[in-house]
Amino acid sequence: MSNLNKYQNSTELMKLGKVPFYLDNFVEACLKGRLNLFLQGDSGMGKTHLATNAMNYFPGKSMFILGRNDMDTRELFQQINLGKLKDAKSSQELKELTDKIDNHLLVFDELPNCVPVVRAQAFNLFDGFIELNGKTYSIGEGYSVGIATGNIGQKFTESSNDLGRALKDRMHVTIDVDYFKPTAKNTFNILSGNTSPSIDFTQKQEEGDLEEKILTAHREIVSQEIPFEKLLLANYLIHGLDYVKIGSRETTKTRLKDTWPNAITNHGAGSDEALILPVSIRAAKSIIRLSQSFDYIAREKGASEEEIQNNYFNSMMQAFKFVGAYSGILNDLKVREHYGNDKYSAMDAVIQTTQTQYDSQKKNLSAGFHMVNEGKKLQKVLNKFNGRWSFMRGFLEDILEENSLEKK
């Protein structure tokens, strides 16, 4: 059971092997991976409650800010005890002031209410710095992360929407809590206790070494070697999902730019070729980090090393689902037409296709790696990598060449 005891929601979001993951585990995974989390959903669904519970991990080193449309940056800085910034006369003084900010977690409720300039500073705070007069100053003693909430429906994923773009750029993981409502048993419990609809900020923050637990986990996660299988899958999401064939022309969705997905008029229109764009390198990093956090938590919950290794694919795909669904890579029109506007269902369909793709190539991949280890270039093996997997052909050839140069 997670340490966020007070938040009650036993609806499962995913399973790694036999280990179930709930919303509070996702928050924990984001904290351990140092990934900014955006919780979106209808009012009263428990977003703020979930976010404020996360503050228990950092007693005295977390901060809650309620976003308002009349908030300016001066007020924001005052709230984080940087009201004296305007009085600082030199960069050194600014640095001394910002060094004193040791907050590890910033919870920003109703972030979309704020004007863009405040949002931009909030994103900087999440990432552990403040930007003043073109210079950046670190805060948070080397670890800083943000959780934001908002109720903005599906609109923010539209590319024309400034808020959508900002959120996509700066928030690593977005969870729509409307899809993961507390169970009836949870709501019975919730309603039979405190019936005040307001968030209770008087709850005593838990004592103990929770902060150190998160920081230690984070240090371990970032220093762990990333399993090769995960790197391969991340590359498939970057390059394999980019592949598209129009008529007899092989190209990429990236090159199609705004003509994707309308340019896909042949049979690919009915496949995931017209449903999803490839992930960016930045998103791929978030996926790997989140997957590593999932594995870490699964290990804590008693999963064996063998179980964790057997679930690398699943772990990566679940991370892909929650990083990707609201990141703007899905074709919204197709999601509306085929998946009842449910982005998670659309992601599940893409994951199924990825599973088929991956299963069909495992043997060839293993053969290809052995070929490179042996220092041989075998056309018969390289020919196995075409279509979405053509990126592997180039990769194997490059490594072969690099290795042969090293030998010389």
Partner 1 sequence: MTKIKFPKNFAGIDGKKALEGIMNETEPEPKDPPTGTSNPLPIPTGDLTFVDKEDLYKEISKYIPTELPNLPNPLTFSDQVMKQSNPYLAVAVDMFCKKYLPEYRLATQLDLEQDLAFTKDTYNDTGLALRSLAEPNKSQAEYLFNQIKQRGFTEDDFPFFIQLRGLELDNQNFNLTDESLIHKQVKCLKWESGTNYSKTDNFGLPKSKNKKSSRQIWTIQNGLSRCYLNWISNLYADNSGLSDSGDDGRVVLAKPRSG
- Judged on CB neighbours under 10 Å (0-12, 13-18, 19+), 179 is middle
Residue 216 is encoded by which pair of tokens? 């230690």
As measured in angstroms, the least distance from the Cβ of 301 to partner 1 is 23
As measured in angstroms, the least distance from the Cβ of 313 to partner 1 is 8
- Nearest Cα to Cα of residue 308 among 200, 229, 234: 229
Out of 222, 226, 333, 367, the residue judged to bind partner 1 by CB under 8 A: 367
Contacts of 71 (CB under 8 A, 6+ apart): 114, 115, 118
**In contact, 56 and 205? CB cutoff 8 Å:** yes
As measured in angstroms, the least distance from the Cβ of 346 to partner 1 is 8
As measured in angstroms, the least distance from the Cβ of 123 to partner 1 is 33
**Separation between Cα atoms, residue 174 and residue 39, nearest integer Å:** 6
Q: Counting contacts by CB under 8 A, is residue 129 touching partner 1?
A: no
105-109, strands of its sheet edge to edge? 62-66, 105-109, 145-150, 37-40, 173-176
Out of 64, 179, 339, 391, the residue judged to bind partner 1 by CB under 8 A: 339
Q: Counting contacts by CB under 8 A, is residue 378 touching partner 1?
A: yes
Q: Counting contacts by CB under 8 A, is residue 329 touching partner 1?
A: no
Q: Counting contacts by CB under 8 A, is residue 352 touching partner 1?
A: yes
Out of 127, 141, 332, 348, the residue judged to bind partner 1 by CB under 8 A: 348
CA distances from 96 to 74, 84, 90, 93, 206 (A): 18, 11, 10, 5, 30
Out of 130, 215, 330, 372, the residue judged to bind partner 1 by CB under 8 A: 372
Nearer Cβ to partner 1, position 45 or 381?
381
Nearer Cβ to partner 1, position 161 or 345?
345
**Separation between Cα atoms, residue 309 and residue 229, nearest integer Å:** 9
**In contact, 144 and 136? CB cutoff 8 Å:** no
How many chain residues are in contact with partner 1, going by CB under 8 A?
Answer: 49
Out of 259, 362, 375, 401, the residue judged to bind partner 1 by CB under 8 A: 362
Range in contact with partner 1 (rule: CB under 8 A) among 133-141, 148-156, 201-209, 378-386: 378-386
Out of 349, 377, 390, 391, the residue judged to bind partner 1 by CB under 8 A: 349
Out of 6, 245, 285, 393, the residue judged to bind partner 1 by CB under 8 A: 245
Q: Counting contacts by CB under 8 A, is residue 355 touching partner 1?
A: yes
Site for partner 1 in 308-327 (CB under 8 A): none
Out of 60, 153, 270, 375, the residue judged to bind partner 1 by CB under 8 A: 270
Nearer Cβ to partner 1, position 20 or 268?
268
CA distances from 346 to 182, 267, 395 (A): 22, 18, 29
Angle between helices 312-324 and 281-300 (to 10 degrees): 130
Q: Counting contacts by CB under 8 A, is residue 271 touching partner 1?
A: yes
Q: Counting contacts by CB under 8 A, is residue 384 touching partner 1?
A: yes
**Separation between Cα atoms, residue 336 and residue 158, nearest integer Å:** 14
**In contact, 57 and 3? CB cutoff 8 Å:** yes
As measured in angstroms, the least distance from the Cβ of 228 to partner 1 is 6
Q: Phi, psi at residue 369, to the nearest 5°?
A: -65, -40
As measured in angstroms, the least distance from the Cβ of 262 to partner 1 is 13
**Separation between Cα atoms, residue 49 and residue 46, nearest integer Å:** 5
Give me the residue label for tokens 């053969």: 367
Q: Counting contacts by CB under 8 A, is residue 263 touching partner 1?
A: no
Segment (H or E) for 245: strand 243-246
**In terms of residues, how long is the chain?**
408
Nearer Cβ to partner 1, position 165 or 384?
384
**In contact, 114 and 69? CB cutoff 8 Å:** yes
As measured in angstroms, the least distance from the Cβ of 10 to partner 1 is 21
Out of 75, 370, 375, 394, the residue judged to bind partner 1 by CB under 8 A: 370
State the residues that interact with partner 1 by CB under 8 A. Answer: 228-229, 245-248, 265-271, 337-339, 345-346, 348-349, 352-353, 355-357, 359-360, 362-367, 369-374, 378, 380-381, 384, 386-387, 399, 402-403, 406
